[in-house]
Amino acid sequence: MRKKIIAGNWKMNPDFAQGIELIEKIKTTAIPLIEGDGVQILIFPPYIYLNEFAGKLSTTKIGLGSQNVASTKNGAYTGEISASMLKSMQIKYCLIGHSERREYFNEDEKLLLQKIKLLLDENIIPIYCCGERLTDRQNNEHFAIVKDQISKIFLELTREEAKKIIIAYEPVWAIGTGVVATPQQAQEMHAFIRNEIRIIFDEEVAEGTSILYGGSVKASNSAELFSCNDIDGALVGGASLLPDDFCGIIKNSI
């Protein structure tokens, strides 16, 4: 059975002192919830907090990930952080292709594939985000858009590489808007994505791939989402900064 994953994407929030307070609160509340093996919690704080947080979480089952990685190896790329640097800090996960990076930093699948390959070379698990914009859905092009985002990456991976990837379906119209996809809309797209993986590879890869939903997930709407067959957890933005709400989401996933 696929393990449930609840991931918190802090984006460019909060400042360091508030971040420490938040991670301590999440630790205290979440650790008793995840004693069994039912759910994996991952936190994606800003890069510069990773080292401090790694120390704080080292004795817990809460994992840490990076929100981004450079698309090139090491060298003269001012301001960038490489996959090998993340590996050297024991970071095990990295978000790739978040819609904010696609939109504000012009990241396309060609660049995202380079990042994924570099991460896989360092044994870091990519969480590959995909999802359509509101106009795509209004024009009934949402399946075609997501198919394109999935196939441009997965057709370029080996079966062994594909098995390592976690997918997050995040409809852009639901991110930070308070408008959550209905469980039916989310389930339908998750099943579609899983089927695309089945077509590219096979049943075993498709059934083994965790597909998270993201977009205005809260404690109050998460139980219904998690009751869907193909929803294996959540990538949470805003609510991951609110410890009670975040831990409520974790509870609903167990």
Positions that interact with ligand PGA (CB under 6 A):
9, 170, 175-176, 214-217, 235-239
Residue 232: what residue type? Answer: D
Shortest CB 45 distance to ligand PGA, Å: 14
The whole-angstrom separation of Cα 142 and Cα 138 is 8
Comparing every residue's Cβ against ligand PGA, the nearest one is: 237
Q: Is 190 a catalytic residue?
A: no
Shortest CB 180 distance to ligand PGA, Å: 8
Q: Of residues 100, 107, 132, 170, which has the active-site annotation? A: 170
Q: Which is closer to ligand PGA, CB of 107 or CB of 170?
A: 170
Residues paired with 167 in a beta bridge: 128, 211
The whole-angstrom separation of Cα 73 and Cα 115 is 9
Phi-psi region at 176: left, alpha or beta (left = phi > 0; alpha = psi -120 to 50): left
HSE (side-chain half, CA atoms, 13 Å) at 186: 31
Q: Is 207 a catalytic residue?
A: no
Q: Which is closer to ligand PGA, CB of 27 or CB of 101?
A: 101
Q: Which is closer to ligand PGA, CB of 238 or CB of 243?
A: 238
Q: Which is closer to ligand PGA, CB of 70 or CB of 180?
A: 180
Alpha-carbon dihedral angle through residues 35, 10, 68, 34, given to the nearest 10 degrees: 0
Shortest CB 84 distance to ligand PGA, Å: 26
Shortest CB 202 distance to ligand PGA, Å: 29
The whole-angstrom separation of Cα 77 and Cα 185 is 41
- The residues annotated as belonging to the active site are 98, 170
